[in-house]
Structure 1
Amino acid sequence: MISSLSLSFAGFEEMPRRSKLYEAQRAEGAQFTEDRGWEVAQKFSSVDEEYETLKRSVGLLDLTSSGLIEATGPDRVRFLHGMLTNNIKTLNAGQGCYAAMLTPQGRTVADMRVYCLKDSLILTVEPGLPEKIAIGLKKFIISDQVQLLDRSEELALLSIQGPKAGELLSQITSHRDPPPQLFDHCETETQLGKVRVCRVDRTREGGYDLIVSQKNLLEFWSLIQQTAKWLGTKPVGLDALNIHRVEAGIPRYGVDLDETNLPLEAGLDHAISLNKGCYMGQEIIARATYLGHLNRKLVGLLLAGGRPAHRGDKVFQKEQEVGWITSSVYSPSLQRAIAMGYLRREAMEPGANLRVEHAGTSIPVEVTRLPFITDKLPIGTRA
């Protein structure tokens, strides 16, 4: 059974949706922007201050626009193992993984974090994706005993990100040993009730996602800030998170990859198990992996000057178009503009000098490897 989902991926509602935290965030000085059909906090103070909070302390992020899908039924593991790119069968309760859902042609329908519980699996996905995922999976449920339920109206996602996230967690939960490995998770008690703590690194500075009840979402938001003021904990908006995300070379679905991309093109090798057997799109991925032949790939670009490029700007090698920009920000740490974008194979060598064209202006760029900042925590590092 697939529950009805109110938000269509193909076309968002005319009026953007708002988190239950909207009024509280507005009172905290938040400025808002639209993101995937949601009105979300762009910043609370200054982007520079919030960037430093994520880098040196711990920032509190409202990710309630994210979707949460729960898979139940005796065939849930076998079914999702055959539909997703990573190994679901080997997960024990308390473990998780990063995975993708593909088309038969190996293109990326969605990326997600998969958490294994005793009696279910929980998938956390980008805003606007739950219905798309549910429709895509439903077509392949024939005799399988599996139910997919949208839990986005009952559960919400908050995130604490930064090098002091572990200290903050120890102050608000009864669990003194937080999940150590990436995507490990546990249910723990707080003074407001139970919360599921998931080891998720959204900036490569360390961090955790918190799955909380929508019923006391506002209370959790306030509790985290009040409990950890001494750590310098502050709410952080989308802009500062996006700068850290780009510096860390972390692609975002709908921005840096979509259904036109193989996951390997976006560098999502860690979402793919090469020895799990068959899954949707597996033959295409295996061929690309073992032949080592990708016609394009997501790379880093160092821009001359301090002005970021725009998403969709074209990249040229001499007079030949060789790629395009997907994300671009000004990096306070590097003190220069940087970008991620796709380049054709002949132009993606690190050190290559190219140019970006925007509105008649030409910007020199240099190809570099991702991530831009190498002293950030590598994927899988303990917090």
Structure 2
Amino acid sequence: MIILNIIGKNLMEIYNNIDALHLKLGCNIQEFEGGAGLPTSYSDRLAEEINLLLLGCGLFDLKSCWLIALKGVEAGSFLQGMVTSDVLQLEIGQMQSSLICANKGKILHHLEIIRSRENEWIVSCDPGEGRAVGTILDNFHVREELEMRLLNPGEMLRLDLIGPDAEKNLVKLGYSPEKADWKFESGSVFTVKLNLGKLPRLINLVDLNVIQNFIKHVLNNDNVDLTGQEAFDEIRISEGIPRFGVDYSTENFPQEAGLADHISYNKGCYIGQEPHARMHHRGHPNWILVWLKLPEDSEANSGDALFHNAKEIGRITSLSGIPSKGILRGIAMVRHELAEDKNMFALAVESQPIIQHEALPNTIV
């Protein structure tokens, strides 16, 4: 059983010390389970953060992601039956995006899964999702030969380095790209690569006893600084990456959310597999996420309705705030039949259609 309520004094001190670095830069911090803070936005730094992510290196503090380890000879087969992706094909040191779905196929939780040892996998949960994911895993675990433990309270926390200089900065600390598990000072770091679209991203699980020095050493490099959720969202929108809780929710199927990289159709049974297979092989969803291109002077906002031939056909779910070459990028949930043609969308019944759309990079076909 996963112990879910063991946030000690030492961990809270680490949380507070890391959060102090964000607060010095005028950061807004959203608190999640166990008091872990997520840096959401900094005052007047968004353009600077985006430049760091695109041209240098941004440190995205994801200590609010619960890390649940499953270890044992049946850990892989148990997890294989719980999630949509094929965890058994992961090599040690690899990471994949995945989902937990309900029996009828709708999404319950978004996950990222690391294979850390031959018989060990680490599930990284989205901020605020950890307790619910842990409860599901506990409830389904009956007799399988495995143990589950929460790593955050006493072992490690997650820090992401994003940008073209991410690997170079880690190498200075002792990281070798050929080995996921490496030493930093008196502790260890487990580093895996999972790019953010085309942008390099290194996910680091860092020992608690060295995490503050790890951050200090990373930030001592040139063209590196802290970045938050707002800047991350700008990048993911520009790369066509939907976000759980923003672009899709527990009301959606994976096919609606453009998550081909989250699901395996040939690995065998898992929770929700039958409705997914039926939809994939015999039909299509009623709704689907698409990638938008809007003129930079358009007066659009996230949540706005989209129209075609004077009929409402969907809504914008994410919208970039910073244009590139006169274009704003966005993501929208629209009727499937409208996603398949090239007709442009409008922002109002009487408005001129000005919004182009295309399939997301990982649309399920």
TM-superposed deviation, 1:282? 0.6
TM-score (norm 2): 0.87
TM-superposed deviation, 1:96? 3.3
Q: Distance in 2 between matches of 1:156 and 1:362?
A: 49
Letter in 2 for 1:159: D
Change in CA separation of 1:5 and 1:202 when aligned onto 2, cut-off 3 Å: farther
Change in CA separation of 1:320 and 1:307 when aligned onto 2, cut-off 3 Å: closer
1:251 aligns with 2:242: yes
Letter in 2 for 1:25: H
Change in CA separation of 1:195 and 1:293 when aligned onto 2, cut-off 3 Å: same
Instruction: Provide the secondary structure at the position in 1 that maps to 2:190.
Output: strand
Instruction: Provide the secondary structure at the position in 2 that maps to 1:80.
Output: helix
1:142 aligns with 2:142: yes
Change in CA separation of 1:96 and 1:238 when aligned onto 2, cut-off 3 Å: closer
Structure 1 equivalent of residue 74 of structure 2: 75
Q: Distance in 2 between matches of 1:62 and 1:370?
A: 30
TM-superposed deviation, 1:6? 8.0
Contact kept, 8 Å, 1:315 with 1:354, in 2: the verdict is yes
TM-superposed deviation, 1:299? 0.4
Structure 1 equivalent of residue 10 of structure 2: none
Instruction: Provide the secondary structure at the position in 2 that maps to 1:109.
Output: strand
Structure 1 equivalent of residue 18 of structure 2: 21
Cα deviation code 1:274-308 (max 9, x no counterpart) = 21111111111111111241211110122344367
Change in CA separation of 1:296 and 1:89 when aligned onto 2, cut-off 3 Å: same
Q: Distance in 2 between matches of 1:174 and 1:36?
A: 30
Cα deviation code 1:327-376 (max 9, x no counterpart) = 1112432433332111001221353222235xx9968542322559xxxx
Instruction: Provide the secondary structure at the position in 1 that maps to 2:172.
Output: helix
Structure 1 equivalent of residue 115 of structure 2: 116
Letter in 2 for 1:170: V
Instruction: Provide the secondary structure at the position in 2 that maps to 1:89.
Output: helix
Contact kept, 8 Å, 1:200 with 1:208, in 2: the verdict is yes
Q: Distance in 2 between matches of 1:178 and 1:367?
A: 42
Cα deviation code 1:141-193 (max 9, x no counterpart) = 22223333222233211111111222112111242x356xxxxxx11112352
Higher mean Cα deviation, 360-369 or 268-277? 360-369
Instruction: Provide the secondary structure at the position in 2 that maps to 1:48.
Output: helix
TM-superposed deviation, 1:268? 0.8
Structure 1 equivalent of residue 190 of structure 2: 196
What are the within-5 Å matches in structure 2 for residues 230-245 of structure 1?
232-245=223-236
Structure 1 equivalent of residue 203 of structure 2: 209
Contact kept, 8 Å, 1:330 with 1:336, in 2: the verdict is no
Pairing partner for 2:30 from 30, 34, 37: 34
Contact kept, 8 Å, 1:130 with 1:150, in 2: the verdict is no
Letter in 2 for 1:171: K
Contact kept, 8 Å, 2:95 with 2:194, in 1: the verdict is no
TM-superposed deviation, 1:25? 2.1
What are the within-5 Å matches in structure 2 for residues 272-287 of structure 1?
272-287=263-278
TM-superposed deviation, 1:225? 1.1
Pairing partner for 2:357 from 368, 372, 376: 368
Instruction: Provide the secondary structure at the position in 1 that maps to 2:89.
Output: coil
Contact kept, 8 Å, 2:94 with 2:193, in 1: the verdict is no
Cα deviation code 1:109-130 (max 9, x no counterpart) = 1121211122421011210111
TM-superposed deviation, 1:30? 3.2
Contact kept, 8 Å, 1:71 with 1:147, in 2: the verdict is yes
Higher mean Cα deviation, 112-121 or 249-258? 112-121
Change in CA separation of 1:354 and 1:2 when aligned onto 2, cut-off 3 Å: same
Structure 2 equivalent of residue 225 of structure 1: 219
Q: Distance in 1 between matches of 2:325 and 2:245?
A: 26
What are the within-5 Å matches in structure 2 for residues 333-372 of structure 1?
333-349=324-340, 351-356=342-347, 364-370=353-359
Q: Distance in 2 between matches of 1:213 and 1:256?
A: 33
Structure 1 equivalent of residue 321 of structure 2: 330
Q: Distance in 2 between matches of 1:170 and 1:104?
A: 44
Letter in 2 for 1:76: A
Letter in 1 for 2:27: Q
Q: Distance in 1 between matches of 2:279 and 2:135?
A: 27
Q: Distance in 1 between matches of 2:209 and 2:67?
A: 15
Instruction: Provide the secondary structure at the position in 2 that maps to 1:117.
Output: strand
Higher helix share: 2
Change in CA separation of 1:325 and 1:6 when aligned onto 2, cut-off 3 Å: farther
Structure 2 equivalent of residue 15 of structure 1: none
TM-superposed deviation, 1:312? 2.8
Q: Distance in 2 between matches of 1:219 and 1:361?
A: 58
Instruction: Provide the secondary structure at the position in 1 that maps to 2:209.
Output: helix
Structure 2, gaps ≥5 residues long: 8-14
Change in CA separation of 1:338 and 1:218 when aligned onto 2, cut-off 3 Å: same
Q: Distance in 1 between matches of 2:16 and 2:289?
A: 32
Contact kept, 8 Å, 2:158 with 2:206, in 1: the verdict is yes
1:297 aligns with 2:288: yes
Contact kept, 8 Å, 2:296 with 2:326, in 1: the verdict is no
What are the within-5 Å matches in structure 2 for residues 88-127 of structure 1?
88-118=87-117, 119-127=119-127
TM-superposed deviation, 1:20? 4.1
Letter in 1 for 2:270: Y
Letter in 2 for 1:30: G
Contact kept, 8 Å, 2:306 with 2:347, in 1: the verdict is yes
TM-score (norm 1): 0.83
TM-superposed deviation, 1:131? 1.3
Contact kept, 8 Å, 1:299 with 1:367, in 2: the verdict is no
Instruction: Provide the secondary structure at the position in 2 that maps to 1:21.
Output: helix
Q: Distance in 2 between matches of 1:40 and 1:162?
A: 18
Contact kept, 8 Å, 1:246 with 1:329, in 2: the verdict is yes
- How many residue pairs get aligned? The number is 351
Q: Distance in 2 between matches of 1:6 and 1:346?
A: 49
Instruction: Provide the secondary structure at the position in 2 that maps to 1:169.
Output: helix
